[in-house]
Chains A and B, each alone.
Chain A
Amino acid sequence: MSSRNTNPDFLAERVTQLFDVPTSRLAIALCLDVSWSMNGKPIEELNRGIEYFLSTLREHPSTRHCTEVGMFSFADSVEVVLDFQGLAGVKSTPSLHSKYEQTNMGDGVNLALDRLEQRVGEYRSTGVDFYKPWLVVMSDGMPTTDTHIAASQRARELEGGNQLKVLTIGIGGDADTDALASFSNRNPVMCLHDLKFAELFDMLSRSAIKTSQSRPSEDVKMEMPLTHDWFSFVPRK
């Protein structure tokens, strides 16, 4: 998978968006595990959650023009499910399928960060203000390659430079919380119980709305979950 999007039509379209609506942007990179273990109910719930997330953001007036969601899946190979663009351009919610054995978490995160950097470069060169982008990594298993060590280093550096907000989410009890925790020095890993993706994406969309109502220079904290029975924070070692 090419690390940068080179499709000229797509690029022209999304740069034009920046000219047409020069409002501040919030880029959200969702980096999702689609390995075999996610097959069945998990992936269905995840798809439903994403659909809810996108439709909430699309409907709320303050996030409609502001948020841009990129979706990246990783398994044997990494894939761009949805590249960053205004929500108006996303006609149908892409759905994820799992069929592979591996969990190539590092390459997935690297791809997400590459594409994120490309988009942030476009923000900068058009002079559009942007909020601190989010990287949301979700996985339910162990990374099967070593690439996540380098990728996590990169994510931590960006986070340390105040250029990225990293959220790591372990799905179920089998998730490798150590690997996930390595992506962020600030936020603990959130472990999702019972596949409650709806609650998770509800929290994310409320945070996105809150962020979009602030000024880009402000530091906005994530909204806290409304109920507490569907997740637990993994304590930092």
Chain B
Amino acid sequence: MPISPRVHTIVSRYMLIADTCFVLNENFEDFVNHFRGELGHNPLRIPKKVWFELERLAQGPANKSQQQAGGNTIAKRAEQAQRLIVSLDKEGLATVCESPLDDRVRTADQVISSLVEQFLTLQPMVVLTCDRKLKDWIHQKRSNGCFGQSKSLFVIRFSPHSGLPVLWRSQATHSQQPTAVTQATTARGIRNGSVQTANGGHGYYHTAKQSPGNRIAQHVGIANGQAERPSCRPTKTFPAKTRPFDVATKITSSSQVPVPGLQSLQAGESVYDSHHKPVVLEKQLGSGGEGVVFQTDRPGIVCKIYHCDRITPFAEEKIRLMVSRPIKHSAICWPAEIISDKSGQFRGFLMPTAAGQSLAETLFLPAIWTENQPNWTRRESVALAIAILDVVAYLHRFNILIGDINPANILITPAGRVQFVDCDSYQIEGFPCPVGSVDFVAPEIQGQNFGQFLRTPEHELFAVATLLFMIMLPGKAPYSHQGGSNGADNIRAMHFPYNLNARKEGPGSHQGSNEVVQLRQYHNVPQGAWRYCWSHLSPRIKADFHQCFHADNRHFPRVTLGQWRRSFQSYQLLLADEQKVFVGPQAQLGFDLCILPQNKRYCRDANGNVLPHRIPRDGKTDMQRAIAQVIRKLTQGETPAPATSAVSTSTSNGSTNSAKPSNGAKKSRSTAKSPNTATASKKTTSRAASTASTATAQPGSGNTVQTGSASAATPSATTPICDWDEWYEHPLVWPVVVVGKFAAEVLGAGLVGTFALGFVGMLVGFFFGSATTGALGGAYVGASLGAIAGVIGAICSVKETLPSIFPAAGLGLATGGGLGWLLSGGPLMACAGGCLGMLVGLAILRLIIDQCDAENYLKTVWGDDTLFF
């Protein structure tokens, strides 16, 4: 019986990954000899973990009873296999490929399954194995989620009857699957003995039932390879032959004026490719702002024809440059050829067809997605994220920036791959990407005209992070939060509501205060499933998102593609480990899977099943409690029928988050302490002014949260000295502040302040009698008052009056000292005393500024050129 031609085709074209049991099979050598020609072009990939397992097997079993049971045969075969692999490696027919998971997982199967998940979306592959469990897993993968109609993942094994390599189909198609255990399946028992024995023999992929009596090589310890080890060549997935584009620093200066006198092209007309061969535009497939996409008479090729007003020398040059460097990647619809009309005028380009639905229509509408893809889990989301990261990294290797990363431009094909479309908008060299979608635009370039500058990789990393976030929390933008406004303002303010290490921030972790902790940590995370979705992410991924999105990390570089890739890969590994993954009750949105955290939030019931949450005393779930809370807030805590919705949100925000006022509330409160209301009582002032400011503001843009967040973007608000809002609550503090502000205001009036302080100094001098003490005392009192008023004034943002405090305080000192002296001594001494007093005052002021670390803050209030002494 010959080997089927199908197997021939698959072996010659697909990426081959061999499992331990396949290599151990007695037919392996025949297989290699038969496919020598094919393997020359397409070497067999052997995971390093497989090599380790062979090494371990070659050591032979330590247990005597098992030795008798045939362990020696296994050891011998493992040694043979090792020798064969070494020789294959020398001939270039096989490579041992390393994986970052090698040191972290127990079995080769885990490495193989992670390789499958990793590369499935990128290239067709075949797994060579005789292990039924692994096969079942792969077939499940094939029929699962977005890999639904995947034609590109196969399993090849040796037929138990003929010993020839055959395709191993799933049970569904071949119910007559022979159940005989081939000799090679003896290797199924291979695992790290120490760990597995401790677990009672329940391994990652097999149980005792499925390998009866064959667990020969089970208990083997960790062995050091004695045999010659082949060199580990890393497998190269992307041949990078095309020369990368240059990195330009300014925009190409070609004319952006449309070519005049063009007629728009209709379906049925012919256009010409670069070899002047006609291409017929058959059917209009879609139309956008830039142009129209037509089906052509060439199979698998579509044609984009630009609108007449978009045809400029600039656009033509860009496409010509793109066509000159073919990017051949199955996931990228790169322009293939220039298209011109009869007169030779540039009109558009040809590109490969893209099939599939965009992310925006699929995963990002989770309510629909979970209906269509009930088997989609977080594992698939992670695999998708990795596939997308790989494509972006591939483009970056050529110095191509996508620019307008958005869910409408990334398709999931029916075969379960990703496909990047709309490539002609990518930024190459001096040609910027002229568009952008609000959610994906970095805060620093938010609202700018994208055609007027070149994006940097740092901008791109923000978009990538946003996309990854929206894959992991399907369709939820990172900056949308309770009480937030939509779009650009949220991003500019960088108010990222999700908390990194919320548990540590809470006042205590004992049971009684649990509610409080909950309130503080999620005070405006979107309600519903999103918060669980976030909290179930791995800490590493959370930290990466924080690095990209949190306002505190505004000045730090964003997470790089490589870092993302590693984080997601380690997450994938965590999710692959059945022991650590909890399958939650919320089987929607792909966040049913979560990693069991260390903080014992998850506990087990009597049968050892993992329970999602500690059962609360009142028997309500977190979700029920949150719903009740929202309803309570909405029905009771609100003023009836507010004039604009902005007011309603600001009041509701303020009332619920009394524990820690939100940014917006804080800001409105501090503006309330403006000088003109300083004499009034603090509490009424702030209340009145906040309502006043809301009421007078524009109804749309004058949302208090919005104004608060907008000003948070300026540096002055990002460096608060300390939490003054809490201080104000103290009954001893706020009267002082009010008086201080009053003093600052009076001082700000200039002359009045001068004389007021001078008068104090004079009185002190007068009453102390002695000339020296009088002058010093007067100066000291004046300086202290001036300094304290200055600092308090600065902190209270009494910007208008602040600059005059220094001269006022100084003059106050001088006149105070002087007058004090004049009344009791001579004019010379008065001058000396005044100067001395001034120096003392300045020193005290300096001391206070140092103590409060207020220099930067004062600079932001007064401007960078403020001189300090």
A interface residues with partner B (beta carbon < 8 Å): 3-4, 6, 8, 11-12, 15-16, 18-24, 61-62, 64-66, 114, 117-118, 120-122, 124-130, 157-158, 160-163, 213-218
Contacts and interface: CB of A to CB of B under 8 A. Distances in A.
Nearest to B700: A161
A122 B634 contact: yes
B641 A11 contact: no
Interface residues of B, number: 53
A20 B627 CA distance: 10
Interface of B: 360-361, 365-368, 371, 406-407, 437-439, 475-477, 480-484, 486-488, 497, 524-530, 623, 626-627, 630-631, 633-635, 638, 640-642, 644-645, 648-649, 652, 698-702
8 contacts: A22-B526, A66-B365, A117-B642, A117-B645, A121-B652, A126-B528, A127-B481, A158-B699
Contacts of B698: 160-161
Most buried by A among B366, B368, B638: B368
B479 to A, nearest CB: 10
A125 B634 contact: yes
Contact of A157 (B361, B497, B699): B699
A23 B474 CA distance: 9
B475 A23 contact: yes
A130 B525 CA distance: 15
Contacts of B649: 121, 124-125
Contact of A15 (B526, B634, B699): B634
B699 A161 contact: yes
A124 B483 contact: yes
A3 B639 CA distance: 12
A11 B634 contact: yes
A163 B645 contact: yes
B700 A130 contact: no
B627 A163 contact: no
A120 B635 contact: no
Contacts of B497: 127
Nearest to B586: A20
Most buried by A among B488, B529, B631: B631
B367 A213 contact: no
A116 B484 CA distance: 17
Given A114-B641, A129-B477, A23 B526 contact: no
B630 A122 contact: yes
Nearest to B406: A215
Contacts of B702: 161
Contacts of B633: 125
Contacts of B407: 215
A127 B438 contact: no
A3 B437 contact: no
A162 B701 CA distance: 8
Given A130-B486, A218-B438, 16 more contacts: A4-B640, A4-B641, A15-B630, A15-B631, A16-B627, A20-B528, A22-B530, A62-B361, A65-B367, A117-B641, A121-B645, A124-B645, A129-B476, A129-B477, A158-B644, A216-B477
Nearest to B473: A22
A127 B627 contact: no
Nearest to B533: A22
Nearest to A215: B439
Given A15-B634, A65-B368, A161-B699, A215 B360 contact: yes
A23 B365 contact: yes
Contact of A117 (B477, B483, B648): B648
A121 B481 CA distance: 13
A126 B367 contact: no
Contacts of A21: 367
Contact of A64 (B367, B488, B526): B367
B368 A12 contact: no
A213 B368 CA distance: 12
B641 A217 contact: no
Nearest to A3: B641
A66 B367 CA distance: 9
B368 A217 contact: no
B361 A121 contact: no
Contacts of A161: 644, 698-702
A216 B480 CA distance: 10
A64 B366 CA distance: 12
B641 A215 contact: no
Contacts of A118: 634
Contact of B360 (A65, A124, A213): A213
A126 B439 contact: no
Contacts of B642: 117
Contacts of A217: 437-439, 477, 486-488
A15 B530 contact: no
A36 B468 CA distance: 56
A127 B480 contact: yes
A182 B196 CA distance: 76
Contact of A126 (B406, B630, B700): B630
